[in-house]
């Protein structure tokens, strides 16, 4: 299944274009966008995260649809990784997909997430992980016809994210 992730348009283009580039499985230490990788023991993660956060972020679980905090949120701001605080997505790329989870058409910047081919549950999907702490975020899907600039849907678990509203970011 060919899959793609957005690449920023050249800086001198003067227009906001989004290109498609093939998904590549990238080791966490190479994908963290220059940020130092967060490495913790399993015991440290269990101590810092709630049981549900641990199940989703560290064991690649999925929260039930339409139950998460952000699936229907329209608050402007930045979505950070709940495990390590890395900025991953913004409300500018969030859209209503009506799938029951927060959906984005692109991550905040190249290198903030990494991609892993996921063949669990008899499906072929692309898993999305935080490039800094390697926590499971959700999956990305191509070609579903949502009419977004990338024709992609980053389907992300609310419990994997922490929204910092735009008003709070300046304080």
> Is 53 part of a structural domain of the chain?
yes
> Would you state the pLDDT for residue 4?
45
- Residue 130 located in a structural domain: yes
Size of the chain in residues: 171
Question: What are the b/e assignments for 45-60, b being 16+ CB within 10 Å?
Answer: beeebeeebbbbbbeb
Structural domain contains residue 81? yes
Q: What is the CATH number of the domain that holds 95?
A: 2.170.150.20
Span 66-111, pLDDT tens digits: 999 999 999 999 999 999 999 999 999 999 998 999 999 999 998 9
CB atoms within 10 A of CB 95: 16
Domains held by the chain: number: 1
Q: Which range of residues forms the domain containing residue 106?
A: 27-169
In-domain check, residue 146: yes
| Global pTM exceeds 0.85 | no
Query: Could you read off the pLDDT of 3-47 as tens digits, one per residue?
Result: 444 433 333 333 333 333 344 444 444 444 556 788 899 999 999
**Could you tell me which of 157, 159, 29, 164 has the C-alpha nearest to residue 102?**
157
Q: Which residues are catalytic?
A: 155
Q: Could you tell me if residue 10 is inside a domain?
A: no
Q: In the predicted model, what is the mean pLDDT of residues 137-160?
A: 94
């Amino acid at each position: 299944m060919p899959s793609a992730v957005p690449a920023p348009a050249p800086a001198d283009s003067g227009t906001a274009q989004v290109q498609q580039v093939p998904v590549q499985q990238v080791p966490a230490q190479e994908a963290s966008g220059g940020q130092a990788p967060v490495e913790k023991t399993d015991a440290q993660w269990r101590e810092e995260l709630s049981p549900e956060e641990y199940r989703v972020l560290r064991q690649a679980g999925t929260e039930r649809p339409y139950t998460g905090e952000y699936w229907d949120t329209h608050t402007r701001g930045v979505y950070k990784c709940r495990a390590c605080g890395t900025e991953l997505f913004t409300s500018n790329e969030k859209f209503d997909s009506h799938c029951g989870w927060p959906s984005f058409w692109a991550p905040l910047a190249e290198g903030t997430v990494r991609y892993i081919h996921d063949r669990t549950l008899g499906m072929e999907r692309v898993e999305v992980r935080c490039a800094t702490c390697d926590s499971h975020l959700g999956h990305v899907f191509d070609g579903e016809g949502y009419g977004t600039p990338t024709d992609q849907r980053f389907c992300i678990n609310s419990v994997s994210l922490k929204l910092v509203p735009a008003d709070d970011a300046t304080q």
